Amino acid sequence: MALVRLPPIPANALGFAPKRRVGLLGGSFNPAHEGHRHIAELALKHLGLDEVWFLVSPGNPLKEAKGMAPLAKRLASAAEQAHHPRLRAVAIEQALGTRYTADTLAVLIRRFPRTSFVWLMGADNLIQLPKWERWSSIFNTVPIAVFARPSYSTNALAGKAAHRFSPARRRSLRRATRLASRKPPAWVFLHTRLHPASATSIRAMTRPAHKQRAAPGKR
């Protein structure tokens, strides 16, 4: 399980070298799909990042364990989508023993003092962010980049999190390229090309036919 280990401290993490800019895309990755890779590649392009890490969660506190594949399988799925020299699949939360994003970010900042992190999320997660443990501290710990998603964007921008941190929003794409160097709270909403893939639809397509018929209307 080498992929479960923490990433090594980059060569420029010490001394006076410029800070490394890393995007963090957390999730269950149940399974990972092209939509995850799409967001990661957009982040590399529009945010000026050096790398994006897929943070595969041992277990999402807001999701039921039923139907959740084992961590090793989900990690392997993320590693397959991270087949790119600047993308990495890791199970940092398992290695650190952290359960909540707020705790994970606090540890990463201490461990990688010469790395500037940016939290990456889709518009659907911005809507439910107020349900996360100490969600406000996430905004105050690292810059955040939110990516548009079909049918979620309007509600996301009208939601509680977007409203509370509206003064910290950077509204131009030009400013987005410097997001990693901004002092939090700072966030952007990127109206980029959308990708239709979702883990829910992929699981539905791979579910045996008799199970699909047994659960009509469920999403």
Pairing of strands 144-147, 20-27: unpaired
The pLDDT value recorded for residue 210 is 42
pLDDT of residue 83: 87
Q: Residue 151: what pLDDT?
A: 85
159-168 long-range Cβ contacts below 8 angstroms, 24+ apart: 159/126, 159/127, 159/129, 159/130, 160/129, 160/130, 161/126, 161/127, 161/129, 161/130, 161/135, 162/126, 162/189, 164/136, 165/139, 168/139
How many C-beta neighbours within 10 Å does residue 15 have?
7
Q: Two tokens at 127?
A: 């809507």
CA 39, 20, 75, 138: dihedral to nearest 10 degrees? Answer: -70
Q: What is the pLDDT of residue 17?
A: 55
Structure confidence at residue 167 (pLDDT): 97
* pLDDT of amino acid 200: 53
For residue 126, give both structure tokens.
Answer: 């911005």
**Structure tokens, 28:** 């269950």
**Looking at 66-169, which runs of residues are DSSP E strands?**
87-90, 115-122, 144-147
Q: What's the pTM?
A: 0.82
- Per-residue tokens: 90: 């890791």
Domain range annotation of the chain: 19-214
Per-residue model confidence (pLDDT) at position 15: 42
Count how many Cα atoms sit within 13 Å of the Cα of residue 117 in the half-sphere of its side chain: 25
**Residue 49 vs residues 12, 22, 43: alpha-carbon distances, Å:** 15, 6, 7
Q: What is the DSSP secondary-structure string of 149-174?
A: -TTTHHHHHTSHHHHHTGGGB--SHH
What is 19-214's CATH number?
A: 3.40.50.620
The pLDDT value given to residue 1: 39
Residue type (1 letter), 57:
S
How confident is the model at residue 39, as a pLDDT?
94
| Mean pLDDT, the chain cut into blocks of 10 residues (219 residues total) | 48 56 96 94 95 92 80 96 94 92 96 96 96 97 94 94 97 87 96 62 46 37
